[in-house]
Amino acid sequence: MSTGAAVLRANSVGARSPRSTVIRMLAANRVAVVSACTLTLIVAVAVAAPWITPFQPDRQDLDRRLAPPDAVHLLGTDAYGRDMLSRIIVGARASLATGAIATALAMMVGATIGALSGYFRGPSDLWLTRLTELALGIPPLLLVLLIIALFGPSLRNTILVIGLVYWPPTARIVRGEALRVRQHQFVEAAIALGARARRVIQHHLLPNLMPTLIVQATLFMAEAILIESGLSYLGFGIQPPAPSWGNMLVDGRRYVDTAWWIATFPGTAIFLTVASINLIGDGLRDALDPRRR
């Protein structure tokens, strides 16, 4: 809880605490509130998935292959006669897990490297710059594909690889912020008071970087879900018969002539989730940016 307290201490210039200002601004942003409700609903559905699917997601009913939406199968069935709605509900788990865990990983790695190199500068900074340049030379999607092809596709590998490949943008942003925050007098004062680097970074640097990090994390979470869907579409992500929104779209493309519902609904699920997260991210950015208050 000391981090939260530090945020308050570091920022409490105005009369109101910054946290309540942020919450108030978010609550006033109707789009952000609606998005937050949508996302909460999607998360709840994902958590409750085993209890609420109308059918077993992998139960095949070969008499009802490629059946259009009706009263029994609300979103139709796929090529094996499996219920689309049930598979979409279960598929939410893969997408949300990837979004949350891969983002946490990318943020932790990126923030640590960025904060260290921005604070200490010198050789570690040089290395970061070189590494980032190197990472920029390889399109991330190709690198992810390559690593997954080499080490085998699975949900765990997908999460790990997305988290470990996409940290450089975060590191860059955090480094820039760290360089800026380091110039402030309160950091100078802390150092003059004999604070060690670890303490300065933990108690002065990171709390000030939090707003940037939170926004960055939200926007990256949206991207991570899109990346996962692309990987699954290419056959490098969640492996069938386990359902994921991306791998369901493979059948959507294959049966596009006959079964529009397979092409439509999994994509709609991706869109709703990612758009909600993006809108929350935009709302957070507006609320956390002091210039917009």
Partner 1 sequence: MSAYLGRRVLGALPMLLGVSVVLFILIHVAPGGPEATLLGGDLNQQDAASLRRSLGLDQPLPVQYARWLGNALRGNLGISYLQGTPVLEVIGEHIGATLQLATGSLALALLVAVPLGIVSATRPNTWVDRGATSVALAGVSFPSFWLGILLILLFAVTLRWLPASGYGDYGAAGGIADHLRHLVLPTLTLASTQIASFLRFTRSSLLEALAQPYVTVARAKGLRSARVLLRHAFRNGLIPLITLLGLSTRFLIGGAVLTETVFAWPGVGRLAVDAVIGRDYPLLLGLNLLIALAVILGNVLTDLLYSLADPRIVWQ
Interface contacts to partner 1, rule CB under 8 A: 130, 133-134, 136-142, 145-147, 149-151, 222, 226, 229-230, 233-234, 246, 249, 252-253, 256-257, 260, 263-264, 267, 270-271, 274-275, 278-279, 282
Q: Where do the H-state alpha helices sit in 235-288? A: 245-254, 260-288
Please say whether the beta carbons of 29 and 66 come within 8 A. Answer: no
Tell me whether residue 55 or residue 255 sits nearer to partner 1 (CB atom): 255
Measured between alpha carbons, how far is residue 182 from residues 13, 189, 194, 197, 212 in Å?
Answer: 18, 11, 15, 11, 15
Tell me whether residue 70 or residue 133 sits nearer to partner 1 (CB atom): 133
Least separation in angstroms between residue 282's CB and partner 1 is 8
- The distance from CA 6 to its chain's CA centroid, rounded to whole angstroms, is 25
Tell me whether residue 159 or residue 249 sits nearer to partner 1 (CB atom): 249
Phi-psi region of 249 (alpha: psi -120 to 50; beta: other; left: phi over 0): alpha
Tell me whether residue 22 or residue 222 sits nearer to partner 1 (CB atom): 222
Least separation in angstroms between residue 243's CB and partner 1 is 16
Least separation in angstroms between residue 198's CB and partner 1 is 31
Tell me whether residue 178 or residue 249 sits nearer to partner 1 (CB atom): 249
First to last CA, the chain: 26
Can you tell me the distance from the alpha carbon of 97 to that of 232, in angstroms, rounded to the nearest whole number?
Answer: 14
Least separation in angstroms between residue 4's CB and partner 1 is 31
Tell me whether residue 151 or residue 186 sits nearer to partner 1 (CB atom): 151
Least separation in angstroms between residue 49's CB and partner 1 is 22
Measured between alpha carbons, how far is residue 185 from residues 10, 190, 238, 257 in Å?
Answer: 12, 8, 49, 65
Exposure letters 13-41 (e unless 16+ CB within 10 A, then b): eeeeebeebbeebbeebeebeebbebbee
Least separation in angstroms between residue 274's CB and partner 1 is 4
